[in-house]
């Protein structure tokens, strides 16, 4: 099992890196977690339900005003070079624009939407959320930037507004038309819990996942397995899927696929065409699976939850076509490994991770089986839910 660097260690590393880079100590800091989505995939931009959990992998940002009209940001993350950028403080007349290096666009996008009136500052960003691993590395960078800016300027945002601002940054500066799930859970995660999010009303329900008094028996765990195949979502696939969904909704005469049902889809099958029909089938069934899964957790029907997870994977693989051979291979391995209730690919797809519901006592054995049978090198974690983003006292 992967041993994850603790948050205090990560913060210390970030403070030291800042001091080395800028020659003084940082004054303000922030952290924002990554996430794993338990079920409800590619439903958020269809106004549906999602069920993510914030995980103890974080982006951390520390810094201070520098008394100049320059903003200087550095990172130690494994990103495209250069690892340090410098630009003029933005103004209404001279707003920020996207450019190279790409990693800085997440930071610039948030800055752009946060304020046009900010003094020069220096900051350092560190993250142990694997890049392109489907655990929301980009949302955690956006949310940590926004939380850092709140700490720096004293201006604070409502959590939902903060998540929406970060989503807008991703749309406008990273060209990725994502839904709201990742930014939302990074802002609003709760310790030992997952969050059922209604992506239409933005209402949330906290479902506790650990301990004797909880909704899930404490003898189960969520095992996250990184296939170590990097996904690349800003490519054409994600916007294409989104486009197919919007087309389906339009042809069905509904606002979004949240309002569609199986009968309506079947009735319009010819008009939709096979591809759009399949996308619709996935989304409509996945929204239903997500609410059923939460009910199953609340009623401790773990076999049922496991079944729903497997069904979700098959639907993502065959109908939505966003899986890849390595993710399928990992799910296949878990299917024949004792102690696994169910598993599925998690996140946008085309690489990244699977999430499996397992008997906690058998997790080490299951990990062993995965390492033995997977054709590439997997990284395995067991996570509990953690709280969402916050400022940190340095």
Positions in the binding site for ligand GLA (CB under 6 A): 41-42, 44-45, 178-179, 181-182, 347-348
Nearer to ligand GLA by Cβ, of 41 and 326: the residue is: 41
Q: Closest approach of Cβ 81 to ligand GLA, in Å?
A: 25
Round to whole Å and give the CA distance between 318 and 256: 22
Cβ nearer to ligand GLA, comparing 42 with 278: 42
**Contact (Cβ atoms closer than 8 angstroms) between residue 308 and residue 356:** no
CB nearer to ligand GLA: give 71 or 188. Answer: 188
Q: Which is nearer to ligand GLA, 306 or 347 (CB)?
A: 347
Instruction: Give 200-207's long-range contacts (Cβ < 8 A, gap of 24+).
Output: 200/47, 200/48, 200/256, 200/258, 202/160, 205/294, 207/51, 207/294, 207/297, 207/298
Of 41 and 369, which CB lies nearer to ligand GLA in the complex structure?
41
C-alpha to C-alpha distance for 60 and 77, rounded to whole angstroms: 11
> What is the rounded end-to-end Cα distance, in angstroms, of the chain?
30
CB of 361 to ligand GLA, least distance (A): 30
Cα gap 354→346, rounded to integer Å = 5
Which string of DSSP letters, residue by residue, matches 296-361? HHHTT-HHHHHHHHHHHHHHHHHTS----HHHHHHHHHHHTSTTEEEEEEESS-SSSEEEEEEEGG
Angle at 300 between CA 296 and CA 305, to 5 degrees: 40
**Closest distance to ligand GLA from the beta carbon of 314 (Å):** 16
Using alpha carbons, list the distances in angstroms from residue 214 to 70, 185, 220, 290, 385: 49, 20, 11, 19, 13
Look up 182 and say whether it is catalytic.
Answer: yes
Task: Output the smallest distance, CB 40 to ligand GLA, in A.
Answer: 7
Distant-in-sequence, close-in-space partners of 336: CB < 8 Å, separation ≥ 6: none
The distance from CA 241 to its chain's CA centroid, rounded to whole angstroms, is 18
User: Which candidate in 44, 182, 215, 244 is catalytic?
Assistant: 182
Shortest spacing between CB 134 and ligand GLA, in angstroms: 7
Instruction: Tell me the closest approach of the beta carbon of residue 190 to ligand GLA, in angstroms.
Output: 19
Of residues 63 and 179, the one with the C-beta less far from ligand GLA: 179
Residues carrying an active site annotation: 182
């Amino acid at each position: 099992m992967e041993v994850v660097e603790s948050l205090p260690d990560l913060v210390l590393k970030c403070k030291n890196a800042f001091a080395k880079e800028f020659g003084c100590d940082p004054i303000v800091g922030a952290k924002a977690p990554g996430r794993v989505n338990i079920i409800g995939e590619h439903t958020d931009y269809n106004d549906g339900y999602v069920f993510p959990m914030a995980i103890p992998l974080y982006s951390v940002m520390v810094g201070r005003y520098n008394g100049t009209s320059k903003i200087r940001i550095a990172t130690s993350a494994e990103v495209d070079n250069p690892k340090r950028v410098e630009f003029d403080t933005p103004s209404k007349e001279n707003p920020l624009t996207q450019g190279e290096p790409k990693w800085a666009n997440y930071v610039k996008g948030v800055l752009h939407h946060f304020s046009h009136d900010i003094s020069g500052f220096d900051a350092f960003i560190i993250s142990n959320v694997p890049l392109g691993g489907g655990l929301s590395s980009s949302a955690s960078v956006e949310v940590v930037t926004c939380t850092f800016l709140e700490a720096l300027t004293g201006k604070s945002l409502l959590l939902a507004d903060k998540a929406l601002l970060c989503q807008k940054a991703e749309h406008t500066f990273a060209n990725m038309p994502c839904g709201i799930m990742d930014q939302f859970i990074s802002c609003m995660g709760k310790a030992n819990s997952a969050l059922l999010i209604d992506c239409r009303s933005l209402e949330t329900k906290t479902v506790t996942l650990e301990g004797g008094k909880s909704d899930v028996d404490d003898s189960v765990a969520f095992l996250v397995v990184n296939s170590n195949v990097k996904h690349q979502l800003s490519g054409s696939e994600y916007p294409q899927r989104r486009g197919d969904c919007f087309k389906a909704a339009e042809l069905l005469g509904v606002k979004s696929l949240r309002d569609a049902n199986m009968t309506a889809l079947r009735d319009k099958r010819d008009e939709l065409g096979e591809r759009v029909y399949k996308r619709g089938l996935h989304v409509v069934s996945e929204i239903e699976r997500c609410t059923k899964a939460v009910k199953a957790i609340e009623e401790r029907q773990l076999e049922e939850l496991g079944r729903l997870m497997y069904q979700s994977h098959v639907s993502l693989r065959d109908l939505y076509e966003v899986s890849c051979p390595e993710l399928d291979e990992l799910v296949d391995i878990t299917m024949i490994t004792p102690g696994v209730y169910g598993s599925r690919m998690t996140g946008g797809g085309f690489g990244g991770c699977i999430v499996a519901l397992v008997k906690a006592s058998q997790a080490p054995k299951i990990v062993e089986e995965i390492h033995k049978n997977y054709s590439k090198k997997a990284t395995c974690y067991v996570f509990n839910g953690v709280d969402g983003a916050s400022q940190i006292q340095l």
